[in-house]
Chains A and B, each alone.
Chain A
């Protein structure tokens, strides 16, 4: 299969490009806040990375809860004025988000890209990988991203702004976000890989942050997208997914009942892609619009990625056959198979 017709390869190229852009792009004149692209990016591009080209939307949200709305409530100020910066940021976020919808996760996010490449590394090292997680487990962790979004991004910083919690809670999500550590390390800056002993709050939050970073790094070798599954941005995207122009669409057929390859291909283990027979729009709360389900659907036009209602990539039996073979070939070459081949060749005695 020509790699340039392979959607996964195209996506990886885009991911590498956006990783370079958002992690290092600021080094070309984007050092200051006014130089940033939007300051409301729907992906985890971090402010602590001094070379970043843009900032993740969760940063201004926390600041605005802490310094504007929280303080307006505490000081008896004008609540509308306190809320105004948040509304402006939200408006900017929605404008950007509408362009790519949840594909900001599957195609743009630096942390998502890192986890995907770690998983590829795990595959090439010949590690035993998890094809998919139990659906009961998927159901259990699914609310976590909502809890993180509601509490760590909005409620806790707001309580800090009101004065009910210490100022160290003002950016509570950033303090545990693995992207802060990853993107700063990627630029050669180790100052974010710390345990902060200033007080109990900073100690606990920093312990969670660095532990989570380490956990995610090695877990990604064997489990697909471990942090994405609990990422608060995935939850925020889910709220506005009906406004996005890019959608995953299903035209179910009776054959869908007996297949299920789409769910097996899904890095987020979304069962609904397989089981849903009524709804057409399948851009579910956990979907990252990576398009793998469409690639591995063997029936013509059953699954489609549509942009503004126009199909941009559709399931196709011919593509499926080539893609399946390409995947098999790709997975067949790794350190384990290589060493087995070498052993086999040295076992053959001349003569």
Chain B
């Protein structure tokens, strides 16, 4: 009768034993794997970003509550000061050279107390004349990942702009192009281009990509760039096929247990 214990419970308990036994192996794996920069490890302090900001730009940080703070950029880098608020912040760099206006934007998550503001408030507001807005920004605990397709919206002074060529270029040199549709939207596929990815092994590397577009009106050229980070797609070590296979085994086991019977009392429909 013991064998007829609910299999789900038994499997769980037995497997927990296995899980605990492999704890030290897991720790070793964690030690060996590349660590993200210290500022990303649940840090709540200032964060330094490499955005390739043009010299002479005016840089502002937009908090989730839309409070704007001016910051300094040096050699293309910018340090976001601690805001104490949890959620995405937008770093906006603008440079006005008369006939050419450039903008670089990056959405960066910072930890702190719950802001009580949705990221949609930050994306909806106009931050510069011509901007590329993620639609949506990867939500909390998610990232852009290689091999994924994401949408972006092109806006000029708050309104969507159609038929604008857009390109996404990764730090590994790959370029993907698209054109904005009538609602200003464009979907771009992030290349799965991290070198030396070992299938079946976790890879926590990240790299930068830029989405760029140009728009001319009234004799002024607006150049905008959305800078972000993307990570190796976990599909390299998380197997859907194996998942389907094991779930299939589970289904067979469930059917077998249900058929074999957990009790003599049954209802014949």
Spell out A's residues near B (CB within 8 Å): 29, 31-35, 47, 50, 67, 71, 123, 126-134, 136-137, 140-141, 144, 147-148, 151-152, 165-169, 172, 176, 181, 190-191, 193-202, 204-208, 210-223, 226-227, 229-230, 331, 334, 336-337
Stretch of B24-32, B55-63, B71-79, B222-230 that contacts chain A: B24-32
- Contacts A29-B120, A214-B249, A334-B269 known; list 18 others, CB within 8 Å: A31-B120, A128-B269, A129-B269, A131-B267, A132-B263, A132-B265, A137-B263, A165-B27, A194-B234, A197-B239, A204-B22, A211-B249, A212-B11, A212-B12, A217-B254, A218-B255, A219-B258, A222-B259
The reply to whether B23 and A201 form a contact with Cβ atoms under 8 Å apart is yes
Q: Contact flags (1/0) for B46-68 with A, using CB distance below 8 Å?
A: 00000000000000000010000
Q: Which residues of A contact B25 (CB under 8 A)?
A: 199-201
Determine if B171 is an interface residue (Cβ-Cβ < 8 Å): no
Q: How far is the CB of B216 from chain A (nearest CB, A)?
A: 33
Q: Which residues of A contact B18 (CB under 8 A)?
A: 204
The reply to whether A128 and B268 form a contact with Cβ atoms under 8 Å apart is yes
Q: How far is the CB of A328 from chain B (nearest CB, A)?
A: 11
Looking at A47, A133, A152, A226, the one whose CB has the most chain B CB atoms below 10 A away is A226
Determine if B19 is an interface residue (Cβ-Cβ < 8 Å): yes
Q: Which residues of B contact A230 (CB under 8 A)?
A: 6, 8-9, 12
Q: How far is the CB of B253 from chain A (nearest CB, A)?
A: 5
Determine if B242 is an interface residue (Cβ-Cβ < 8 Å): yes
The reply to whether B246 and A211 form a contact with Cβ atoms under 8 Å apart is yes
The reply to whether A218 and B254 form a contact with Cβ atoms under 8 Å apart is yes
Q: Contact flags (1/0) for B135-168 with A, using CB distance below 8 Å?
A: 0100111000000000000000000000000000
Q: How far is the CB of B85 from chain A (nearest CB, A)?
A: 11
Looking at the complex, which one of B19, B141, B244, B262 makes contact with A201 (CB distance below 8 Å)? Answer: B19
A67 (CB) vs chain B CBs: closest residue: B42
Q: Which residues of A contact B176 (CB under 8 A)?
A: none
Q: A67-B42, A140-B5, A331-B269 are in contact. Are A197 and B200 (CB under 8 A)?
A: yes
Looking at B22, B119, B269, the one whose CB has the most chain A CB atoms below 10 A away is B269
Q: Contact flags (1/0) for B211-240 with A, using CB distance below 8 Å?
A: 000000000000000000000001101111
Q: How far is the CB of A235 from chain B (nearest CB, A)?
A: 13
Q: Which residues of A contact B27 (CB under 8 A)?
A: 165-166
Interface size on B, residues (CB 8 A): 68
* Cα(A83)–Cα(B1), bound, Å: 43
Q: A197-B237, A204-B19, A205-B19 are in contact. Are A33 and B258 (CB under 8 A)?
A: no
The reply to whether A207 and B246 form a contact with Cβ atoms under 8 Å apart is yes
* Cα(A115)–Cα(B253), bound, Å: 16
* Cα(A330)–Cα(B265), bound, Å: 20
The reply to whether B22 and A227 form a contact with Cβ atoms under 8 Å apart is no
The reply to whether B254 and A215 form a contact with Cβ atoms under 8 Å apart is yes
Within 8 A of A (CB), among B1-44: 1, 4-9, 11-13, 15-16, 18-19, 22-23, 25-27, 29-30, 42
- Interface SS of chain A: helix
Q: A34-B116, A168-B26, A218-B258 are in contact. Are A130 and B238 (CB under 8 A)?
A: no
Looking at A132, A190, A204, A216, the one whose CB has the most chain B CB atoms below 10 A away is A204
Determine if B101 is an interface residue (Cβ-Cβ < 8 Å): no
B42 (CB) vs chain A CBs: closest residue: A67
Q: Which residues of B contact A198 (CB under 8 A)?
A: 29, 201-202, 237-238
B23 (CB) vs chain A CBs: closest residue: A165
The reply to whether A194 and B240 form a contact with Cβ atoms under 8 Å apart is yes
Q: A194-B243, A214-B246 are in contact. Are A130 and B265 (CB under 8 A)?
A: yes
Q: Which residues of A contact B114 (CB under 8 A)?
A: 34
B257 (CB) vs chain A CBs: closest residue: A219
Q: How far is the CB of B33 from chain A (nearest CB, A)?
A: 8
The reply to whether B237 and A215 form a contact with Cβ atoms under 8 Å apart is no
14 A-B pairs within 8 Å (CB atoms) are namely A34-B87, A134-B262, A144-B6, A147-B13, A169-B23, A194-B234, A195-B246, A196-B238, A200-B26, A211-B253, A214-B246, A214-B251, A214-B253, A218-B258
Determine if B117 is an interface residue (Cβ-Cβ < 8 Å): yes
The reply to whether A137 and B11 form a contact with Cβ atoms under 8 Å apart is no
The reply to whether A218 and B120 form a contact with Cβ atoms under 8 Å apart is no
Across the A-B interface, the 3 shortest Cβ-Cβ residue pairs: A214-B250, A218-B254, A222-B258
Q: Which residues of B contact A167 (CB under 8 A)?
A: 30
A221 (CB) vs chain B CBs: closest residue: B258
Q: Which residues of A contact B201 (CB under 8 A)?
A: 197-198
Looking at B5, B12, B247, the one whose CB has the most chain A CB atoms below 10 A away is B247
Q: How far is the CB of A195 from chain B (nearest CB, A)?
A: 4
Q: Which residues of A contact B200 (CB under 8 A)?
A: 197
Q: Which residues of B contact A219 (CB under 8 A)?
A: 7-8, 254-255, 257-258
The reply to whether B29 and A166 form a contact with Cβ atoms under 8 Å apart is yes
The reply to whether B247 and A193 form a contact with Cβ atoms under 8 Å apart is yes
Q: Which residues of B contact A166 (CB under 8 A)?
A: 23, 26-27, 29-30
Q: A144-B9, A204-B15 are in contact. Are A196 and B247 (CB under 8 A)?
A: no
Q: Which residues of A contact B242 (CB under 8 A)?
A: 194-195, 197
The reply to whether A130 and B244 form a contact with Cβ atoms under 8 Å apart is no
* Cα(A137)–Cα(B202), bound, Å: 41
Determine if B179 is an interface residue (Cβ-Cβ < 8 Å): no
Q: Which residues of B contact A168 (CB under 8 A)?
A: 26, 30
* Cα(A102)–Cα(B259), bound, Å: 31
Q: Which residues of B contact A34 (CB under 8 A)?
A: 64, 87, 114-119
Q: Which residues of A contact B140 (CB under 8 A)?
A: 32-33
Q: How far is the CB of A178 from chain B (nearest CB, A)?
A: 9
